[in-house]
Amino acid sequence: DAGVTQSPTHLIKTRGQQVTLRCSPKSGHDTVSWYQQALGQGPQFIFQYYEEEERQRGNFPDRFSGHQFPNYSSELNVNALLLGDSALYLCASSFDRESHEQYFGPGTRLTVT
Amino acid sequence: QKEVEQDPGPLSVPEGAIVSLNCTYSNSAFQYFMWYRQYSRKGPELLMYTYSSGNKEDGRFTAQVDKSSKYISLFIRDSQPSDSATYLCAMSDRKKVTFGTGTKLQVIP
């Protein structure tokens, strides 16, 4: 059973550019959440997608947007990248939006120069 | 004030020791409490998940929740070098999950 997968593993972008990160949830899971983890910090909740709609959102600007596809996979888009966006971006899936048993992918490490 | 405070560590213990990891919180709306283990350059792995106050045991791990004191703990018995990782507490108010900053644990053989 494949767990949560994310791509790419690493990414280097220049300030002002745009980036798209991808996530495939664990088999049987229909809810995807995205987190940003800065070095030495805990993950910070960005938003949650369920039934192709954003259901919950953390304290992140609208430069951060997302999408969920009919197969439950998801994308995170970040526009107008800032140096402070450099972090590990984690995707987590759960079997429904009420479940708090989240399973995380390995993350995408984004470096903004 | 942060909603979730976690002892910063790092914590270094000899193999076989009992490890105690702790978090406090200020948001009374938190109802669900989780502990995750994160190895370097990996995603967090769910270890324990509890809802009510009291203890929950799973092998060498025991999670303890005291809602009246807004305090949660994770105990690791007979610690092993493979337990060396960062341990994150997490809490949910049914809208979002809030993590602590993590405690780095090193178990020395």
Q: Do A103 and B46 touch (CB under 8 A)?
A: yes
Is A101 part of the contact surface with chain B (CB cutoff 8 Å)? yes
Residues of chain A above pLDDT 70, percent: 99
Interchain CB contacts (distance < 8 Å): A and B:
53
Is A42 part of the contact surface with chain B (CB cutoff 8 Å)? yes
Question: 3-state secondary structure string, chain B?
Answer: CCCEEECCCCEEEECCCCEEEEEEECCCCCCEEEEEEECCCCCCEEEEEECCCEEEEECCEEEEEECCCCEEEEEECCCCHHHCEEEEEEEECCCCEEECCCEEEEEEC
Q: Which residues of B touch A105 (CB under 8 A)?
A: 43
The pLDDT tens digits of the residues spanning A28-50 come to 999 999 999 999 899 999 999 99
Is B92 part of the contact surface with chain A (CB cutoff 8 Å)? yes
Confidence of residue A1 (pLDDT cuts 50, 70, 90): low
* Chain A (50-89) residues lying within 8 Å, Cβ to Cβ, of chain B: 56, 58
The pLDDT tens digits of the residues spanning B80-99 come to 999 999 999 999 987 788 99
